[in-house]
Amino acid sequence: MRKLFAKIHLWLSIPLGILISIICLTGAILVFEQEITQALNPNLYRVEAASGSTPLSPSQLAEAISRQVPDTLQLTSLQFAQDPDKPVWAGFRNAGRKTLSVNPYTGEVNGWSQSYPFFQEVRKLHRWLLDAPARKGEKSVGKVVVGVTTLLMVVILLSGLVIWIPRTSKALKNRLKISCTKGWRRFWYDSHVATGIYTLVFLLIMALTGLTWSFGWYRTAAYSLFGATPQTTESEHGSTGKPQNMASASQRSHQNPGRQTDTDHRTSPHRKDTGKSENHPKGQQRLYRTWDQVLANLQQTYPVYTSIKLEQGSAQIVTSPEGSLRKSDTARFQNEDGVITGITTSGQAPASQKMKGYFYSYHTGTWGGIWTKILYCLAAFLGGILPLSGYYLWYKKKKGSPSRRNIR
């Protein structure tokens, strides 16, 4: 049985090793995309609150924003953070998924959310091997190859576990440490064996959760396992839908509220201040005044929150700390007077919606904050090195290196 698993492990790893390395290494790069982007653009993601300063109300911010953006942009949402050093993020109907950073104390526009072409290309490589589907939700050769490779990677990992199981306590000790004094071949052998077992659980979690974005049948089975039914989207019928390994819009908003997607928006966020206040229809101005009342009521209802996002007729309140499993409530209100008509808590959300957030969090490592992200990044990096060390050991064996007894 052990020899059978050894053959399965070898003959799957040889053709798929390079693809596994690409998927794992690009995944390791993407783990800290948000932190890197924010570090490179501190003016967008942090504001300085002067002593004693008070944040502007939603209607005041809407008025200030209207004087600084083109008339073609219609404000549709404002996202407020409880952290006084964070900006307000404004969403617009004609700006795609990009959002605008705004100083909550002055109403000054800081700029559009940022996303770097480097990370966009790495993401395409990670999801589709650069062969992106023609439309979201559709298949492509690259997407199928990534999905099949990830599925077989699970088989490789499990077969590697069977091969790794030691027969004696002495062998167990040897397979948990890396020797650096017995030559390169012994070093790479120990690295392959030890790091493989240390990263096994993380790599399995990443692979098994990532498959939910690769295959519809797998997503249905995974959701059913936890008593949920995935929502049917147009992408199931070949139309628009969710790209692989992407979270829902609300999930992306929580993980990175100012993140720019691949949608290119070239409109400048600034224009000459005309001093006019007629940039919004009266109905919109009334809605923004309603937001004042809604925000005040929600801040009283939720003394502690991460963010409150106001939209037409509803508000999303993120109650979980940043860097943890997402928990958010949804409040519905009347646009005319701001009376809150109902609140749906995170516990009352549909099971499919919760499962989507769980799978995303466990795939990316965001569920435990910065420490799990560090562990995921390290595990993904080592997962990308494992096939390379495996190739080296296979090459040495084929070349006729010294007997394997020397590395036992």
Kindly tell me the sign of the dihedral angle through the C-alpha atoms of 206, 212, 218, 224: positive
Backbone φ and ψ for 238, nearest 5 degrees, come out as 85, 10
- For residue 311, which of 328, 332, 326 has the smallest C-alpha distance? 332
CB-based contact 390:192 (threshold 8 Å): yes
pLDDT in tens for each of the 408 residues of the chain? 889 999 999 999 999 999 999 999 999 999 999 999 999 999 999 998 877 789 999 999 999 999 999 989 999 999 999 999 999 999 999 888 899 999 999 999 999 999 999 999 999 999 999 999 988 778 899 999 999 999 999 999 999 999 999 988 888 888 899 988 888 889 999 999 999 999 999 999 999 999 999 998 999 999 999 888 886 544 443 333 333 333 344 444 444 555 444 434 434 444 444 434 344 456 688 899 999 999 999 999 999 999 999 999 999 999 887 766 678 899 999 988 899 999 999 888 888 888 888 999 999 999 988 999 999 999 999 999 999 999 999 999 888 755 444 444
pLDDT of residue 244: 37
* 107 CB-near residues (< 8 Å, 6+ apart): 56, 60, 61, 63, 64, 65
- Distance, CA of 25 to CA of 21 (rounded, Å): 6
Judged by DSSP in three states, 398 sits in helix
Judged by DSSP in three states, 382 sits in helix
DSSP 313: T
Which strands form 99-102's sheet, in the order they lie side by side?
Answer: 109-112, 99-102, 88-92, 75-81, 307-311, 314-318, 328-333, 340-344
User: Which is it for strands 340-344 and 88-92: parallel, antiparallel or unpaired?
Assistant: unpaired
pLDDT of residue 167: 85
Judged by DSSP in three states, 112 sits in strand
Helix (H) or strand (E) holding 80: strand 75-81
Other Cβ atoms less than 10 A from the Cβ of 243: the count is 20
- Distance, CA of 245 to CA of 211 (rounded, Å): 9
Give how far Cα 125 sits from Cα of 67, 130, 387, Å: 40, 5, 18
pLDDT of residue 350: 85
Query: Which amino acid type is present at position 387?
Result: P
Question: Exposed, middle or buried: residue 73 (CB in 10 Å: 0-12, 13-18, 19+)?
Answer: buried
